[in-house]
Amino acid sequence: MAVALTSEPAPAPPGPPGDDSPRKIISTVSAGDKAFRGVLRSAGIAVLVTNALILIFLILRSLSAFHRAGFGFFTTQAFYPELSGQFGIAALLPDSAEIAVIALAIAMPVGVAVALYISEYAPAGLRGPMIAVIDLMTAIPSIIYALWGLFFLMPRILGTDEWLAFHLGFIPFFHFTKPNFLSYFVGAPFIAGVVVSLMVIPIITSLSRQVFSQAPQGEREAAYALGSTKWGMVRTVVLPFGRAGVIGASMLGLGRALGETIAVTFILTPPTFHFTIHVLEGGGNSITAEIANFILQYDTKGQAALLACGLVLFASTLIVNSLASLVINRSRSGAATAD
C-alpha cells in the first residue's frame, strides 16, 4: 500500500467525455460452475423443503383431531382421544413449560457462572479442557441423563424435596398437598426439571462463553484503569456486553428443554392430566412424554390427537427459537459473534 501511495498515480484511461457510469463487470460462469452452483442451491432448497414438509404433514395428519376437539383442544385438561372429543393441551403444554422453566431457573445461573469461569477466571491451561468438558456434556446422550436422573438423582433428591415442602411450603410452588410420604415425592416435575437443567447448562455455557470472550479489550482495560477489581470489571463490562447473548442462549435452552423427551418420560410417574403449580408433587406430564408413551398404542384418532400436540410443540419451540435468534442478532454482542 505504502508503495502505491508514493508512486505516480496512473493516468486515467481515455474515454468519451461525460461518461462517468461505472464499467460493466462481466464474469462468465462456466458450465461446470453453473452445475456446481445448482447443486449447492438445491441443498439449500432441500433444507427448506424438509422443514416445510414437517409442517405440512403434521398439519394434514392432525387436522381431524382439531376438527373433533374444536376450540376445546386448547382448554381441555384431559386426554381421551380414542373415546371422545375430550382431549386437549391445557394440561400438557403448561406442564412442559413448567419443567422447562424449572430447568432454566437452575441452568441459567450455573451456565453463566461456568461461562464466566471459563472466559474470565480459568487459568489459560485449564480453559481448553473446560471447553472440552462442556462439549462432552452436550455429546452425552439424553438417555444417559435420563438413566442417571431416574436411578441416581431421584433417591437422593427426595429428602431435599421433603425439606423444601415443609420449610418453604408457604411459597405456592413448593406447597405440598399430599400425605407426607416420601413416595408421593417420586416422579415430580421438579426432579424432571433438575435433570433437564443439566442438558441445558452446556447450551447456555457455550454460547455465553463465546459472547463474554468477545467483550472489548479496551473497555476491560478502562475498567481496570479506573481501579476496578476483577469482579467489578466483569459486572460493569463483560456482563452488560453479554446480556443479550445470555438471554438468547437461555431461550435456546428453553427450546431444548421444551423438546426434551426421554428424561421427562422416565421420571414423570404416574402421568396425570391435571396441571398443578405444586412442582414437588409426584406425577405430571408433558407433550413429549405423552407422545412417547402412547403414539404406538393409540388408533388413528388417538394418533391424530398426539400429532396435534406435536404440532403445538413444534410451533412453540419455533417461536421461542426465532425470538432467541432475534435477540442475539439484534444485540451488540450478537453482531460481534455473528461469524
Residues between 188 and 207 that touch other proteins (CB under 8 A):
198, 201-202, 205
For the bound state, the minimum distance from the C-beta of residue 51 to other proteins, rounded and expressed in Å, comes to: 5
Coil vs helix vs strand at 170: coil
- Counting contacts by CB under 8 A, is residue 116 touching other proteins? yes
Q: Which residues pair with 284 in a beta bridge?
A: 271
**Binding segment (CB under 8 A) for other proteins, from list 5-13, 74-82, 149-157, 173-181:** 149-157
What b/e readout covers 70-83, taking b as 16+ CB neighbours within 10 angstroms?
eeebeebbebebee
For the bound state, the minimum distance from the C-beta of residue 54 to other proteins, rounded and expressed in Å, comes to: 5
Residue of the chain from 1, 25, 26, 47 that contacts other proteins (CB under 8 A): 47
- Closest to 245 measured CA to CA, from 138, 316, 326, 317: 326
**Rounded distance, CA 62 to CA 312, Å?**
10
Instruction: Give Dmax over CA atoms of the chain in angstroms.
Output: 96
- Counting contacts by CB under 8 A, is residue 336 touching other proteins? no
Residue of the chain from 63, 137, 222, 247 that contacts other proteins (CB under 8 A): 137
Residue of the chain from 2, 10, 25, 48 that contacts other proteins (CB under 8 A): 48
Length of the chain: 339
Residue of the chain from 78, 101, 247, 292 that contacts other proteins (CB under 8 A): 292
For 59, residues 6+ apart whose C-beta sits below 8 A from its C-beta are: 311
Three-state SS sequence of 294-311: HCCCCCHHHHHHHHHHHH
Residue of the chain from 222, 295, 323, 336 that contacts other proteins (CB under 8 A): 295
Q: Spell out, one character per residue from 230 to 269, where the chain touches other proteins: x when CB under 8 A holds, - when not.
A: xxx-x-----------------x--xx-xxxxx--xx---
For the bound state, the minimum distance from the C-beta of residue 74 to other proteins, rounded and expressed in Å, comes to: 19
**Binding segment (CB under 8 A) for other proteins, from list 65-73, 107-115, 169-177, 212-220:** 107-115
Site size toward other proteins, by CB under 8 A: 97
Residues between 61 and 90 that touch other proteins (CB under 8 A):
61
- Counting contacts by CB under 8 A, is residue 101 touching other proteins? no
**What proportions of the chain, in percent to the nearest 5, are helix, strand and coil?**
70, 0, 25
End-to-end Cα spacing for the chain: 28
Residues between 14 and 43 that touch other proteins (CB under 8 A):
29-30, 32-33, 35-37, 39-41, 43
For 280, residues 6+ apart whose C-beta sits below 8 A from its C-beta are: 161, 164, 165, 174, 176, 185, 188, 190
